[in-house]
Amino acid sequence: MTAISKARLVCPKYGRFYLPPKELRPCGDEFQDDKFYFDSARNEAIRLRERLGLSEKSSVLDVGCGVGRLATGIIDVFGEIHKYRGLDICPCYIKWCRQFIASEHPEYQFILLDMYNERYNKTGVRADSGINLSFSDGEFDIVYLYSVFSHMVKEDVEHYVKEFGRILAPEGKVFITAFIEEGVPEMTINPENYRLNWNGALHCVRYDKSYFERMLASNGFILDHFDYEKETDGQSGLYISKIG
């Protein structure tokens, strides 16, 4: 990833917000357009309000927050909420979020986790024996991962889902986007002849739907709703609840 300190990056202003430099914006090419980027940020906040009950009283964990797109949307739609924590493994993203979002909205906090990922953090620590997030049991109402499991291997996905079971409140909800298909191997990295020409480590990690639902169930979750291929690059949206 681009080192933010080395580049002369332009952070465009959009109304009262700074937007991330185009070089730092993850997801598809459409996010290069400022209006698209900003509208998408708002739409994510509205999605969480309408589908997962996000309100001013909610506590939200944004795993793989990138350059804080969801945080920007929540600030615009709600102002303050009870708690927002953005977590990422990429130092340049967290640095940008702290400098351009948290500096103006200190209640929005961004946390760097030094975890290995072949695409985003090759020098990070491997989570072979699990992930212990530094959050209390039942601390969050909503966990959100947009285009994150789509770049993560099965073992890490399973570690995360297990940990979500601990840090979510009893009625907690999860929204994720992922490449999910029926009747494919449990996990395929950069599948050929599938949607785009994938290049580079973990550009696309695709999962089998039955495997994914079994994995959720074995960690105490149920898939409430599945929106097939409606998200960036043809990812699907998964609306998930913690059981009891």
Give the footprint of ligand SAM on residues 131-150 (CB under 6 A): 146-148
**HSE-CB of 85 using CA atoms within 13 angstroms:** 17
* Interacting span for ligand SAM (CB under 6 A) from 8-16, 48-56, 109-117, 233-241: 109-117
Residue selected from 141, 156, 208, 233 as contacting ligand SAM according to rule CB under 6 A: 156
Q: Could you tell me where the beta strands, DSSP code E, fall in the chain?
A: 13-14, 17-18, 59-63, 83-88, 108-112, 140-145, 168-181, 187-189, 205-208, 221-227, 236-242
**What is the closest distance, in whole angstroms, from the C-beta atom of residue 127 to ligand SAM in the complex?**
7
Give the footprint of ligand SAM on residues 188-207 (CB under 6 A): none
Residue of 202, 212, 227 whose CA lies nearest to 47: 227
For residue 66, state whether it binds ligand SAM (rule: CB under 6 A). yes
Helix (H, G, I), strand (E, B) or coil at 242: strand
**What is the closest distance, in whole angstroms, from the C-beta atom of residue 7 to ligand SAM in the complex?**
17
Residue selected from 59, 117, 235, 236 as contacting ligand SAM according to rule CB under 6 A: 117
Residue selected from 84, 108, 120, 179 as contacting ligand SAM according to rule CB under 6 A: 120
Give the footprint of ligand SAM on residues 67-96 (CB under 6 A): 69, 87-90, 93
**What is the closest distance, in whole angstroms, from the C-beta atom of residue 183 to ligand SAM in the complex?**
26
Q: Which is nearer to ligand SAM, 2 or 243 (CB)?
A: 2
* Interacting span for ligand SAM (CB under 6 A) from 10-18, 59-67, 182-190, 211-219: 59-67
For residue 159, state whether it binds ligand SAM (rule: CB under 6 A). no
Strand partners, 103: none
Q: Which is nearer to ligand SAM, 124 or 220 (CB)?
A: 124
Residue length, the chain?
244
Helix (H, G, I), strand (E, B) or coil at 51: helix
Distance between CA 65 and CA 244 in Å, rounded? 27
Contact 231, 177 (CB under 8 A): yes
Q: What secondary structure does DSSP assign to 116-174, as a single string? A: -BTTTBTTSBP-TT----S--TT-EEEEEESSSGGGS-HHHHHHHHHHHHHHEEEEEEE
- Which residues contribute to the site for ligand SAM (CB under 6 A)? 26-27, 63-66, 69, 87-90, 93, 113, 115, 117, 120, 146-148, 151-152, 156
